[in-house]
Amino acid sequence: MIKLLLSDCLPGMQGMPAESVDLVVTSPPYNIGINYGTYDDTSDRPTFIGWCQQWASEIHRVMTNEASFFLNIGAAPADPLLPHQLVLALTQTEPGFVLQNTFHWIKSISVETKKGETISAGHFKPIQSKRFVNDCHEYLFHLTKTGNVPLQRRAAGVEYADKSNIKRWGHTGGEDKRCRGNNWFIPYETIQSRNKDRPHPATFPVALVEQCIRIHGVDETGHLLDPFSGIGTSALAAQRMKVPRFTGFDIDETYLATARERLAIDAEESSQQLL
């Protein structure tokens, strides 16, 4: 069951029962002047941090003790402290989360092979600057109530490059899968038209949410919440991963309409593939 609600997330979550959510994946406004259309993304820093503590406190209340909260947030090159200031506020003061893991969502990367070749993959927004470099990653903070929430590391893992390690290392249990670590290279899908395919100024890929579901545990995710659902990326991931319940809030009716359209199209495409 997927619920997409036209509502500010704060009163929306206040109407939810305590300890009713197993997984939260969201990307709030970054307070860097992005043009969302409905939301003003230009608050002063103390006001913004205080507002984040309000909705994060409601997330804390609705989460079970074994739940995970994946908070995606980036920063402008000229203002790199925002993610750190926010996570410090959410852990050291209200609502008192524990930072269990810090993941890096890598959007674009260049790797040199053993043959000396450089392979570049992914997408990034180039900037013109004599002081800053292109920003090719964002943070994904894994917050929990206790810091002791078990994760399904192999479910979100990768195969061994050196297959001899499978037998040589006892902890593998004979399985060709290891922990991926905290660097997740997940590029955006290529689109033909931003207005048509991604009509939102700040989205994350569906694959990023799917990876959060895998590492928290598909079987452990009965209810997924996204307080800033936007055009429904988290809802789409929940639908594809067959999460029983999803709740999303947004204050922009246009974004919600797009989300519902994406869900309907994806469901139709999935049913056709089964024919």
At 214-229, the pLDDT tens digits run: 999 999 999 999 999 9
Amino acid letter for position 43: S
* 61-81 tens-digit pLDDT: 999 999 999 999 988 888 899
What's the pLDDT band for 178 if we cut at 50, 70, 90?
confident
Q: Compute the average pLDDT of residues 24-50.
A: 75
91 vs 80: CA distance, rounded Å = 19
pLDDT for residue 36: 45
Number of domains present in the structure of the chain: 1
The DSSP call for residue 153 is: T
pLDDT for residue 119: 86
What's the pLDDT band for 177 if we cut at 50, 70, 90?
confident
Amino acid letter for position 255: Y
pLDDT for residue 30: 73
Q: What is the pTM of this model?
A: 0.88
Cα 221 from chain centroid (whole Å)? 15
**Residue 39, token pair as written in the block:** 């939301």
Q: What percent of the chain has pLDDT over 70?
A: 84
What's the pLDDT band for 32 if we cut at 50, 70, 90?
low
Q: Compute the average pLDDT of residues 124-128.
A: 82
Please, what is the end-to-end C-alpha distance for the chain in angstroms? 23
Q: Who has greater pLDDT, 229 or 115?
A: 229
pLDDT of residue 194 exceeding 50: no
Per-residue exposure over 28-37, b if at least 16 CB sit within 10 Å of its own CB, e if not? bbbbeeeebe
pLDDT of residue 134 exceeding 90: no
Average pLDDT, the chain: 87
Domain coverage including residue 21: 2-274
The CA–CA distances, whole Å, from 221 to 209, 214, 216, 234, 263 equal 12, 9, 7, 13, 19
The candidate with the shortest Cα–Cα distance to 189, out of 271, 266, 275, is 266
Which CATH number goes with the domain that contains 69? Answer: 3.40.50.150
The alpha helices in the chain, defined as continuous H runs, are 9-14, 45-62, 82-92, 164-168, 194-197, 206-216, 233-240, 253-274
pLDDT of residue 195 exceeding 90: no
